[in-house]
Amino acid sequence: MHVTPEVTPIPCLKDNYAYLLRCPSTGLIGVVDPSAAQPLIKVLRDKGWGLDYIFNTHHHWDHIGGNEELKKQFPSIRIFGHQSDQGRIPGQTDGVQDGQVVRFGAFDGFVIHNPGHTSGAITYVWGNAAFTGDTLFAGGCGRIFEGSPQDMYFSLHQKIGLLPPETRLYFGHEYTEKNLQFSLDVEPTNHKAQELLKEVSKLRSEGKFTTPSTISQEFATNPFMRTTELEIQKRVCELEPDADLSPVSVFRVLREYKNQF
């Protein structure tokens, strides 16, 4: 019994990931965030597969860039995005909202609305697999374009962070090595982050992917999930001496510092 779809990461553009999904029992095929059509079309042709669904996590061009060409190739495709992104996601057929059930083949999943990176950013969850787009990365989080630090903090801690610890996180970009370097800049004695950076550097030197991460790994190594740690708070005081040390304030200082890191 499969509890999640089969997931194949497809590298696109410079450092994006699209994720090809297959339901073993129905043969249905979906893709999360097709930033470019050609890498996906090649894989689909090689496997002899069609395409039934596109699941977009937000409207940014490097996550929806393949939508229109894929719709030309597969005219009956359904394209999902947050309901507020209607008109910003090309070809969108289905607008979803927080908590909505999204069925993919034999899998009943659901949507988490997690604004901050964009106002319509969402995560798709099927079983123990979560597709977080540019909201939560391995070792980091997305920039805040259409929300506030409070929005993003809430999305990370009170939405995605409440998923079970073993949940696998499939994120939108291969930023892990640099994110962990930042993690150790603000929390130098984090031994789990030190060990993970060694593993990640080796993987990258071999041309391998660092996706997926897990919820438990992020709480152990990602500074944006560790805003109550004393060493991180001390670093925040160095960066902004008059900052209060509430979790949201710590998060804000970290995010502003990461923007220049």
Is residue 58 flagged as an active site residue? yes
- Out of 59, 82, 113, 117, pick the active-site residue: 117
Q: 6-260, superfamily in CATH?
A: Ribonuclease Z/Hydroxyacylglutathione hydrolase-like (3.60.15.10)
Which amino acid appears at position 112 of this protein? I
Rounded Cα gap, residues 98 and 103, in angstroms: 14
Measured at the CA of 220, the angle between CA 180 and CA 157, to 5 degrees, comes to 100
- Out of 60, 85, 113, 151, pick the active-site residue: 60
pLDDT of residue 72: 97
Which amino acid appears at position 219 of this protein? F
Instruction: Give the bridge partners for 7, in sequence order.
Output: 21
- Out of 2, 62, 94, 157, pick the active-site residue: 62
Which amino acid appears at position 242 of this protein? D
pLDDT of residue 45: 95
Question: How do the domains of the chain map onto residue ranges?
Answer: 6-260
Rounded Cα gap, residues 242 and 237, in angstroms: 7
pLDDT of residue 241: 96
Which residues does the chain have with pLDDT short of 70?
Answer: 1-2
Compute and round to an integer the Cα radius of gyration of the chain: 18
| Cross-sheet strand order for the sheet of 53-55 | 6-12, 16-22, 29-32, 53-55, 78-82, 94-96
Is residue 15 flagged as an active site residue? no
Is residue 63 flagged as an active site residue? yes
DSSP string of the chain, one letter each residue = --SS-EEEEEEETTTEEEEEEE-TTT--EEEE--S-HHHHHHHHHHHT----EEE-SS--HHHHTTHHHHHHHSTT-EEEEEGGGTTTSTT--EEE-TT-EEEETTEEEEEEE--SSSTT-EEEEETTEEEEETSEETTEE---SSS-HHHHHHIIIIIGGGS-TT-EEEESB--HHHHHHHHHHH-TT-HHHHHHHHHHHHHHHTT-----EEHHHHHHH-GGG-TT-HHHHHHHHHH-TT---SHHHHHHHHHHHHHH-
Is residue 62 flagged as an active site residue? yes
Phi and psi of 109, rounded to 5°? -110, -170
Which amino acid appears at position 66 of this protein? G
- Out of 52, 85, 134, 151, pick the active-site residue: 134
- Out of 63, 82, 85, 151, pick the active-site residue: 63
- Out of 33, 58, 59, 85, pick the active-site residue: 58
**C-alpha separations of 78 from 35, 71, 81 in Å:** 16, 9, 10
pLDDT of residue 3: 78
Is residue 157 flagged as an active site residue? no
Could you tell me if 218 and 192 are in contact, meaning their C-beta atoms sit under 8 angstroms apart?
no
| pLDDT tens-place string over residues 120-178 | 999 999 999 999 999 999 999 999 999 999 999 999 999 999 999 999 999 999 999 99
pLDDT of residue 1: 46
